[in-house]
């Protein structure tokens, strides 16, 4: 990993005995979404030197507003993240745009404290004692012509994130597997006009009967394409045999894949979601991973977490990281005091 090393300074007092003096920061946070920024906020408020690497590609960028977040409901995602970056910086943390191309463990300190090197696309290399991986995830849509163009607007996935905004409209659920059955029941709470497109997925007699009882129409004919409307929205779904089923909203469960680019060198364990629905980083309580010194928070480890839950997970991980660093700092100070006393 040959590149220039970047050191970051903060507004906090420098030269404390428990701080590395080689440009190593206490923590690097990979990911500038709700989880990463809230983790960084907790660390910065604990007077930890922290750098957030933000790729600038948040999962919820297409959404008009963040919903279900008490006190901030309806806030545009970009505005929420801008506030978060400002808050982290207010406490001395650094937030910089960049792409991580390689992150890996480095030789530990002389007393065994973990060290990591994080290389960026611009050639910088950051050195850190701890890492918080908050890279989020990538939603993968079914391969239906015309679907992706409406993602985040006419095409939605979460009834809690978007449901109120599409209430009482004609909604179509594009099935991707067994999970879509429950998806349909959730969207039925929001509209009386719901069509379930099976798209070749199995639907047993009991489920069909339950759908009929709730007034959910089932269409087994294969879906050919999403038909756009003149106003830029969705007009409906064209079936393979020709007819168009009018719909103004389509709900679809995406495959959710944790963003892991550049992180292979960390050796973080991952887990597959049931039914081939994606993959996420495995983590224990507070986001602790099997790799000493590395935590994970947000959608990278909890694919279904909304913004509030992701932010809370980041805060918890940041607090645990600070606690871990506090123990390491005390161990180092104790070892130094004992050496000094032995030579007195």
Percentage of the residues of the chain whose pLDDT score is greater than 70:
94
pTM for the full predicted model: 0.91
Report yes or no: 289 and 296 within 8 Å, Cβ to Cβ.
yes
Output DSSP code: residue 298: G
Any idea how long the chain is? Answer: 344
More confident residue, 120 or 342: 120
Q: Print burial letters for 145-176: b (CB count within 10 Å at least 16), e (below 16).
A: ebbeebbbbbbbbbbebbbebbeeebbbbbbb
Average pLDDT over residues 78-95: 97
Largest separation between any pair of C-alpha atoms in the chain: 91
Residue with tokens 């719909």: 247
Token readout for 136 is: 């989020």
* Residue located via tokens 């957030």: 52
pLDDT of 256 > 50? The answer is yes
pLDDT in tens, 268-288: 999 999 888 899 999 999 999
User: Any idea which residue has 């679809």 for tokens?
Assistant: 252
290 burial (CB, 10 Å; 0-12 / 13-18 / 19+) is: exposed
- 80 has a pLDDT exceeding 80: yes
pLDDT value at 183 more than 80: yes
In angstroms, what is the C-alpha Rg of the chain?
Answer: 24
Joined together, the tokens standing for residue 199 give: 């798209």
The percent of residues in the chain predicted with pLDDT above 90, rounded, is: 86
Query: In angstroms, rounded to a whole number, what is the distance separating the alpha carbons of residues 129 and 114?
Result: 6
First-residue to last-residue Cα distance in the chain: 42
| 17 confidence band (pLDDT: 50, 70, 90) | very low
- CA 161 from chain centre, in angstroms, equals 15
Q: SS3 helix, strand, coil % of the chain, rounded to 5?
A: 30, 25, 45
Give me 313's structure tokens.
Answer: 């997970």
pLDDT digits (tens, 9 = 90+) for 101-111: 999 999 999 99
Burial class from Cβ neighbours inside 10 Å (0-12, 13-18, 19+) for residue 51 reads buried
pLDDT at 3 over 60: no
Give CA–CA dist 55/215, Å, rounded.
44
Distance CA 203, CA 41 (A): 47
The Cα–Cα gap between 182 and 253 comes to 10
**pLDDT of residue 20 exceeding 60:** no
Alpha-carbon distances, residue 109 vs 97, 106, 116, 318, 331 (angstroms):
28, 9, 10, 22, 13
SS (H, E, C) 260-295: CCCCHHHCCCEEECHHHCEEEECCCHHHECCCCCEE
pLDDT grade, residue 60 (50/70/90)?
Answer: confident
Cα 63–Cα 64–Cα 67 angle in degrees, nearest 5: 80
């Amino acid at each position: 990993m040959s590149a220039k090393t970047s050191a970051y300074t903060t507004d906090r007092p420098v030269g404390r005995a428990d701080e590395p003096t080689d440009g190593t920061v206490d923590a690097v946070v990979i990911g500038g979404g709700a989880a990463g920024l809230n983790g960084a906020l907790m660390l910065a408020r604990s007077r930890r030197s922290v750098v957030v690497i933000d790729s600038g590609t948040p999962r919820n960028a297409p959404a008009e507003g963040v919903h279900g977040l008490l006190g901030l409901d309806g806030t545009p995602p970009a505005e929420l993240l801008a506030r978060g970056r400002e808050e982290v910086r207010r406490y001395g943390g650094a937030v910089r745009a960049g792409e991580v191309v390689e992150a890996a463990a480095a030789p530990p300190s002389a007393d065994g404290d973990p060290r990591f090197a994080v290389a960026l696309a611009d050639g910088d290399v950051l050195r850190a004692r701890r890492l918080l991986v908050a890279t989020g995830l990538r939603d993968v849509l079914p391969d239906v012509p015309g679907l992706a163009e409406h993602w985040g607007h006419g095409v939605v996935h979460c009834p809690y994130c978007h449901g109120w905004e599409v209430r009482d409209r004609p909604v179509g659920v594009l099935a991707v597997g067994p999970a879509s059955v429950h998806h349909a029941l959730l969207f039925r709470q929001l509209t009386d006009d719901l069509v379930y497109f099976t798209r070749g997925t199995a639907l047993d007699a009991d489920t069909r009967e339950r759908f009929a009882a709730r007034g959910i129409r089932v269409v087994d004919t294969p879906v050919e394409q999403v038909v756009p409307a003149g106003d830029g929205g969705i007009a409906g779904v064209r079936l393979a045999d020709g007819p168009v089923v009018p719909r103004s909203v389509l709900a679809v469960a995406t495959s959710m894949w944790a963003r892991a680019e550049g992180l292979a060198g960390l050796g973080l364990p991952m887990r597959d979601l049931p039914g081939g629905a994606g993959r996420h980083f495995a983590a224990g309580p507070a986001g602790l991973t099997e790799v000493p010194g590395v935590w994970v928070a947000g959608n990278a480890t909890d694919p279904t977490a909304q913004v509030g839950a992701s932010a809370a997970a980041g805060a918890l991980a940041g607090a645990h990281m600070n606690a871990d660093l506090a123990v390491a700092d005390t161990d180092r100070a104790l070892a130094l005091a004992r050496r000094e006393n032995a030579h007195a």
